[in-house]
Structure 1
């Protein structure tokens, strides 16, 4: 008898759907010849775009001989990378310590511990993610584990250079003219930009950043000393500042009017995509829905 080979959970990461928005574009859509497409990364097994770099960082570190199953991994996270790494660690046999500011949603905390990770909460009023990143570095220096460092690890954008970017190119048959993404670690926008511009340098890459005073999970504007080392400003053509109220309102509209239940940073990217659509004609605009809205229910955003 012939052996049947079945997929593992790791095998089904990626190849996420790309769907057309029908109502939200309004006059910025078909009337101007524009198409706005949502890349549904919440369809990954741990629920976000971060599944891609999480497995990539572990696989590549193993290949270099830097880690092996049974080791302890450490990462500072605002949520999605931590959940993805917790899943990847469970699959590949690692202990996982995640460090996260204490003002982030309880759904994120519960998801991390469900996968078996140890969670350390840091006081948001003492520096938030910057504090968490510093603590992770200290713990590594004390020999408590290996920091994968999503902010400085080239395997983060590599996952999108090899996966997300080619998928968008193929799914649009090379017609994509604009790519829009929230900017956090910047891994997604860096890797996708590098791939798409290698196929067509005219493609415009737009980054969504928080407006002054806004706090949007997954969208950050880092102080200079904490700017991710993987970030290359030459790969982003333009920026859109998104307010917290705009992102939250758009998250509700995206679910209620398009049936796409995405997170707040996903909605921020859509706000940016719609602004682009108001300025251009005959464009194919792709934005990333980086996670699912059920990760934010306890925040009251969808009430």
Structure 2
């Protein structure tokens, strides 16, 4: 039986390739908090795909990154960059971790910093959700809020200035320019997607923020099979604000981003993201954030154009941190 035949059987059991990890790899009781980063499950979007008229020969699955410790995909690069800094002697006891974030990376860094004993200072736009600010405060992180009208770019400029002025005080992971960001996905997310689909993945769809998920996962999948298509999702224009995503033409472009890498780009509007996030909760039982809504909308739009395929997208986080800004 092929992968497509397996996933289109009556839904009485979970297809074997969507398990979070190979059978038999149970976690020992001695596991640490940080060992709970990675090995997230793939979940099907059967109901919405069927409602949208996607061919029965096309399946759409989403990587459920809220299963990571700290609740988002950003736990992967945060841990990767912090441990890379430790290995290279750039992050030493007594230094403060500082970076710009729209929320999820900051939450991951605050969690990891608390677990490892580092102070954390985060610079973020003032309009991020109250839930994120409260979570960061709970972890003990120091917050510096910048002009919300300037978006994440002003936060990035502020962090660069502070880190440059006091290099002896701060370790700046610099998630937008640090290769350890995309490499964390190359060594984890990409491998997981390949193994969970048994190598059947044909398309990978991801939103662009720092671009680490797209670049790292996409590169690894193309190393496994150059025919895998990588699809980037970004806001339609500079006024189309979808939290966590960047409109590259009008933003500070991350140094780790290769604009020629993706095979295709899909533009999403805020309404596309918000409406799909609502549908995911009500039709699939998946309560996710708005960048996940944008990724799902793009994945379904892509799937509708295919005759057959295995489309994998990635949901960066759950919806709990968006309740105060929900439409």
Same fold (TM over 0.5): yes
Counterpart among 93, 118, 121 of residue 94 in structure 1: 118
- Equivalent residue number for residue 152 of structure 2: 129
Mapped pair 1:218 → 2:244:
yes
Deviation at 1:222, TM superposition (A): 3.1
Picking from 185, 189, 192, the partner of 2:210 is: 185
1:146 to partner: Cα distance? 2.1
Contact 1:50 1:84 in 2 (8 A): yes
Partner in structure 2 of residue 140 of structure 1: 163
User: For 1:132, what is the secondary structure of its paired residue?
Assistant: helix
> Match for 2:197 among 153, 163, 172?
172
Asked if 1:228 is matched to 2:254, the reply is yes
Taking the aligned partners of 1:27 and 1:264, their CA distance within structure 2 comes to: 20
Cα offset for 1:198? 0.2
**1:225, 1:25 → 2: CA distance?**
33
TM-score, structure 1 as length reference: 0.95
1:206 aligned counterpart, secondary structure: strand
CA contact (8 A) 2:55 2:306 kept: no
Separation in structure 1 between the aligned mates of residue 175 and residue 210 of structure 2, nearest angstrom: 7
Between the aligned partners of 2:96 and 2:56, the Cα distance in structure 1 is: 53
Distance 2:145 2:38 in 1: 30
Structure 2: how far apart are the matches of 1:262 and 1:5?
Answer: 29
CA distance in 2, matches of 1:141, 1:38: 39
Runs of 4 or more, structure 1, over 6 Å off, are: none
1:20 corresponds to: 44
| 5+ long unaligned stretches in structure 1 | none
Point out where structure 2 has 5 or more consecutive residues left out of the alignment.
Answer: 1-27
Q: What residue number does 1:273 align with?
A: 299
Alignment of 1:1-303 (within 5 A): 6-26=30-50, 31-125=55-149, 127-143=150-166, 144-212=169-237, 213-223=239-249, 226-301=252-327
1:234 partner SS: coil
Aligned residues: CA RMSD: 1.4
Q: TM-score, normalised by structure 2?
A: 0.88
- Distance in 2 of aligned mates of 1:138 and 1:146: 13
Q: Which moved more, 1:217-226 or 1:11-20?
A: 217-226
Cα distance change, pair 264–123 in 1 and its aligned pair in 2 (3 A): same
Deviation (angstroms), 1:86: 0.6
| Number of corresponding residues | 297
Instruction: Decide which moves more: 22-31 or 191-200.
Output: 22-31
- What is the DSSP-based 3-state SS (H/G/I as helix, E as strand, rest coil) of the residue aligned with 1:116? coil
CA distance, structure 1, for counterparts of residue 164 and residue 270 of structure 2: 36
